[in-house]
Structure 1
């Protein structure tokens, strides 16, 4: 018999196990770390009793959904994962997710829900279109192997690089650069510093793995935010270059610096996610530096 209940902090291990079972189907290996699940469950904008749903059958966890609304009026986001072949669990979770999203977006002029369920191998292809969802974006996870050849690169003329481990002022500078350089990206939400820290789980971040690039005439022009808390690979979360400094090799240098830094840490692989519709040339940059497609995630939208 199918049963649904909210998630609690003590469910993190079981949720992580479910997500890794789905990862293995999607990508061939586990990709989800317990810390990431715990961060979601402890997010200050999430009310687990109202915003989380676990689907069980005879005591076995089949599906998980988490809803939040910290992205501005009208928009609700959702993590949604269900084991393949569990149509009843998937439909019931979506019923609950959509109802909660309508509550969270009530009164907005154009309320909508964004769902990024998986790469597609575990999802009934007719499920979301049959409920009125449409794909609005495709994101590609790209990876690159690392090795001894990934030495520290020579910076462009005049460029300096510093780690962002000098305290609060440097963290705020990284935040400002990310907000500026990602302002025109699809789906970007402008967040003040403290909510931004919550959003990126910044209080658990190793800030020595965040770097800011500067040029003499322009000051700080680029930022690379990375994290080394994933089991499967090092992760480049944000790479941004201010518009007036693009075309000067800043982005390429930051990327190669990240490769060298993670190779020196003993990592075998690094990865990142890129919006394939990005107009700044990010996809071409990553491909030119040896990164290849690992798997794809679609963002689905439902008008509420």
Structure 2
């Protein structure tokens, strides 16, 4: 027996997103996060940063659902198998989320994907919906916080190593260290250097101090931290050590430095996120960080 694809409630309209929609989508996601988690983690700069990437075709990979002039739901295929979506809490229970999930699956199939998934807060309406639609859990992820006033234990670097702000001439080495490390456990295409610079250096509010590196005695980049300052929070967006340089305290030294730099620029709270593919949760808990949010990535074969 076949079933008809879901339809949107009468009166709602759709179109692809444009860059001018970043504020409206931010407000939509913020409303969903506040309802589901009691806090807002999204920034408009997160969307602008993602949409800055030259490889991202927003017109082909996104959909917005409108009630009049108001965006009340959206879906976006970010990579080959990663999607994001949100429905305003006031519009839940009308089939909008189910319709968006169907649109994402169909778009992913059309673009050649064999699986697609998205992160959802554990126990949220989105988590329950995807479970009901047959999505399985691929991995868990967590947001961790170092409370105001707390310190990560300092680690001395090996002789001849230094920690500092990255230099423009080092950007390709920075990108290589990050991608080499993340691709050890993340199954995706390698991020282009152009996408990296557009989303990192092109992020609204980016300042040179946000990009931290550890160099070895030969002045080669062997560790990288990307720090995002949001109001009173320093968020370590990415942290990586070159494979041949691990177990020397480089990652912990970068954490100490990143959080100290954040405080020097007005932050009182320090955060980062990790997931079960990395095996790093225990490391962060060992240095005094505590889990504040728990997400799962739910996926389905196409």
Q: Is the 8 A contact 2:75 2:86 kept in 1?
A: yes
Q: Is the 8 A contact 2:138 2:298 kept in 1?
A: yes
Distance 1:58 1:124 in 2: 27
Q: CA deviation at 1:193?
A: 1.5
Q: Equivalent residue for 2:25?
A: 15
Deviations 1:40-91 (A, max 9, x none): 444433333332212234554321111234xxxxx33211112343341111
Distance 1:293 1:206 in 2: 28
Q: Equivalent residue for 1:98?
A: 105
Deviations 1:6-36 (A, max 9, x none): 2223322221111111121233222222222
Does the alignment pair 1:131 with 2:129? no
Q: What are the ranges of 5 or more consecutive residues in structure 1 without an aligned counterpart?
A: 70-74
Distance 1:4 1:303 in 2: 25
Distance 2:294 2:189 in 1: 22
- Cα 1:68/1:179, change in 2 over 3 Å: closer
Distance 2:107 2:188 in 1: 22
Q: Is the 8 A contact 1:62 1:86 kept in 2?
A: no
Q: TM-score with structure 1 length normalisation? A: 0.83
Q: Equivalent residue for 1:192?
A: 192
Q: Is the 8 A contact 2:154 2:252 kept in 1?
A: no
Q: What are the ranges of 5 or more consecutive residues in structure 2 without an aligned counterpart?
A: 1-10
Deviations 1:173-217 (A, max 9, x none): 11111122223123354223123324x443333232222213338
Residue of 83, 96, 120 corresponding to 2:88? 83
Deviations 1:102-129 (A, max 9, x none): 1111xx6xx111222444423261x223
Q: Equivalent residue for 1:174?
A: 174
Q: TM-score with structure 2 length normalisation? A: 0.84
**Aligned-residue CA RMSD in angstroms?**
2.6
Q: Is the 8 A contact 1:150 1:263 kept in 2?
A: no
Q: Is the 8 A contact 1:152 1:260 kept in 2?
A: no
For residues 84-233 of structure 1, the aligned pairs below 5 Å read 84=89, 85-105=92-112, 111-123=114-126, 125=128, 127-147=129-149, 150=151, 153=154, 155-158=156-159, 159-164=161-166, 166-167=167-168, 169-187=169-187, 189-198=189-198, 200-204=199-203, 205-216=206-217, 219-228=220-229, 230-231=230-231, 233=233
Deviations 1:229-275 (A, max 9, x none): x3462210111122332222221111111121112222011211101
What is the DSSP-based 3-state SS (H/G/I as helix, E as strand, rest coil) of the residue aligned with 1:300? strand
- Cα 1:7/1:190, change in 2 over 3 Å: closer
